């Protein structure tokens, strides 16, 4: 005779609570995902509107605003400015942030906590404060006849005020994973400091460098407030042009510009994920 185990009332109640908790958790996750994706989906749909103004829901569908965007020199020039400034910001911030992070990780010096705070401080400053400060500090600067104000260079320098602390923070954490015994072994075998840094240290933290660089790229690409203070009509970025156009005529061209920026961000995040996956496979091989 088989004795069936009958669950106690306490077990039944516990199982019911676990089921309710699981259902509630999945429902909350679904709500968060929908909440986060709704603006992106609505913007994507609006870019295919045939209307002459931003209006939702969409009554007629068309791709004419994509053709209008890429046929307009003003909009394509703004996109090119954004990309060039983002690339320049990435180079500046990645170089400075990586070197500074390695110095903080490897060496001990006085007032290190204070210097850490000062390096991170611009990341928490409002863009309007940094943009106005850069405009006043460098606006009248002239480098070999090259007017700094209104140039792409001054925007790169301004965007780096946010990007450098971000790269520094990510890379300082990454450098803590470096096995310093390998570094010391390189020194013992005659490796020079620069040679060791470039041939031993940097390859071991390549995933962190790529991730930091792409995050810096995305921050610069989407930044608006500092660019508004520092650009002219010839160097204005795509977010600045979008804001100016929204004030005069809000057409679905703005949605197209938003989709272009969003696609660039998604591509950057995809590169990070692919790179990270490849590095994990190499480490496991």
For helices 73-106 and 253-284, the axis angle rounded to 10 degrees is: 30
- What are the DSSP E strand ranges found in the chain? 142-143, 146-147
| Helix, strand, or coil (residue 57) | coil
Q: 186 in a domain, yes or no? A: yes
- The angle at the Cα of 250, spanning 247 to 251, to the nearest 5 degrees, equals 150
pTM equals: 0.84
Q: Beta partners for 146? A: 143
Q: 3 in a domain, yes or no? A: no
Residues 176 and 237: beta-carbon distance below 8 Å: no
CATH number at residue 138: 1.10.3720.10
Spatial separation of the C-alpha atoms in residues 200 and 183, rounded to whole Å: 7
> In angstroms, what CA-CA distances link 230 with 16, 94, 159, 219?
60, 22, 11, 16
In eight-state DSSP terms, residue 121 is G
Q: 165 in a domain, yes or no? A: yes
Range of the structural domain that residue 242 is part of: 72-284
For helices 206-222 and 253-284, the axis angle rounded to 10 degrees is: 170
Q: 24 in a domain, yes or no? A: no
Spatial separation of the C-alpha atoms in residues 200 and 210, rounded to whole Å: 16
Find the farthest-apart pair of alpha carbons in the chain and give their distance in angstroms, rounded. Answer: 100
Spatial separation of the C-alpha atoms in residues 67 and 211, rounded to whole Å: 33
- Identify the pLDDT of residue 283: 66
Residues 156 and 146: beta-carbon distance below 8 Å: no
**CA neighbor of 62 nearest in space, from 76, 53, 72, 51:** 51
Peptide bond into 219 cis (omega under 30): no
Total of domains in the chain: 1
Q: Give the tokens for residue 272.
A: 């990070």
| Helix, strand, or coil (residue 147) | strand
Q: 119 in a domain, yes or no? A: yes
Q: 33 in a domain, yes or no? A: no
Q: 116 in a domain, yes or no? A: yes
Residues 49 and 61: beta-carbon distance below 8 Å: yes
Q: 15 in a domain, yes or no? A: no
Q: What is the full DSSP assignment across 71-99?
A: H-HHHHHHHHHHHHHHHHHHHHHHHHHHH
Spatial separation of the C-alpha atoms in residues 117 and 107, rounded to whole Å: 17
- Identify the pLDDT of residue 213: 92
Spatial separation of the C-alpha atoms in residues 72 and 162, rounded to whole Å: 31
Chunk the chain into consecutive blocks of 10 residues (it has 285) and report each block's average pLDDT, rounded to whole numbers: 59 69 83 88 85 76 87 92 94 93 85 89 89 82 75 91 93 85 78 79 85 91 90 89 81 88 87 78 69
CA neighbours closer than 13 Å in the CB half-sphere of residue 143 = 7
- Identify the pLDDT of residue 7: 64
């Amino acid at each position: 005779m088989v004795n069936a185990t009958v669950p106690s009332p306490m077990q039944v109640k516990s199982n019911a609570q676990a089921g309710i908790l699981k259902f509630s958790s999945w429902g909350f996750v679904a709500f968060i995902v929908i909440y986060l994706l709704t603006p992106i989906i609505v913007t994507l749909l609006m870019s295919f509107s045939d209307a002459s103004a931003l209006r939702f829901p969409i009554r007629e569908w068309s791709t004419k605003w994509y053709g209008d965007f890429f046929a307009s020199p003003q909009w394509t020039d703004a996109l090119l400015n954004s990309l060039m400034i983002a690339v320049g910001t990435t180079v500046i911030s990645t170089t400075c942030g990586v070197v500074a992070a390695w110095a903080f990780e490897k060496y001990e010096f006085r007032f290190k906590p204070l210097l850490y705070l000062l390096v991170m401080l611009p990341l928490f400053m409002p863009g309007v404060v940094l943009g106005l400060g850069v405009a006043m500090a460098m606006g009248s600067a002239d480098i070999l006849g090259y007017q700094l104000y209104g140039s792409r260079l001054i925007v790169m320098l301004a965007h780096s005020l946010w990007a450098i602390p971000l790269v520094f923070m990510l890379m300082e954490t990454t450098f803590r994973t470096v096995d310093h015994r390998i570094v010391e072994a390189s020194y013992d075998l005659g490796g020079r400091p620069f040679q060791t840094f470039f041939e031993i240290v940097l390859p071991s933290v390549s995933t962190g460098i790529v991730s930091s660089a792409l995050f810096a790229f995305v921050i610069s690409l989407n930044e608006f407030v500092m660019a508004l203070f520092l650009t002219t009509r010839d160097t204005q970025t795509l977010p600045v042009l979008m804001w100016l156009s929204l004030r005069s005529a809000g057409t679905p061209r703005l949605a197209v510009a938003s989709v272009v920026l969003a696609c660039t961000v998604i591509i950057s995040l995809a590169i990070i994920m692919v790179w990270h996956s490849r590095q994990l496979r190499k480490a496991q091989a």
